[in-house]
Amino acid sequence: MQDNEGVESTATIGLLIRDGNKEVKYLNAIMHNKYSRNPEKLRAWKSASHIERAPQREKPPANVTVAIPGSSTSQANAA
């Protein structure tokens, strides 16, 4: 087994997942158009095509300047 096989496989998996998500999005439009008047089949499609994703952490807030009462902005930034 070569050292690069694992890395190449990981890259391939990422590409396959992206392609699969693209196909689900395409099929989703078709199913919504075809079964818009059949809620049972549409519900079955939504259940079957549901993609569970790992939770994402919130991004830290951008650099925020806090004004200190009774001081100018330049003093607040220097502190």
Residue found under tokens 């079957």: 48
Residue 78 in this model has a pLDDT that exceeds 60: no
Q: Is residue 4 part of a domain?
A: yes
Nearest to 49 by CA among 64, 67, 35, 66: 35
Assess if residue 20 is contained within a domain: yes
**Residue 6 covered by a domain:** yes
The residue type at 20? G
Is residue 54 within 8 A of residue 45, CB to CB? The reply is no
Q: Name the domain count of the chain.
A: 1
For residue range 32-74, list pLDDT tens digits in order.
999 999 999 999 999 998 888 788 888 877 776 767 777 665 5
What is the domain range of residue 46?
A: 1-52
**DSSP state for residue 71 in the 8-state scheme:** S
Residue positions counted in the chain = 79
Contact by Cβ (8 Å): 42, 36 = yes
Q: Does pTM top 0.75 for this prediction? A: no
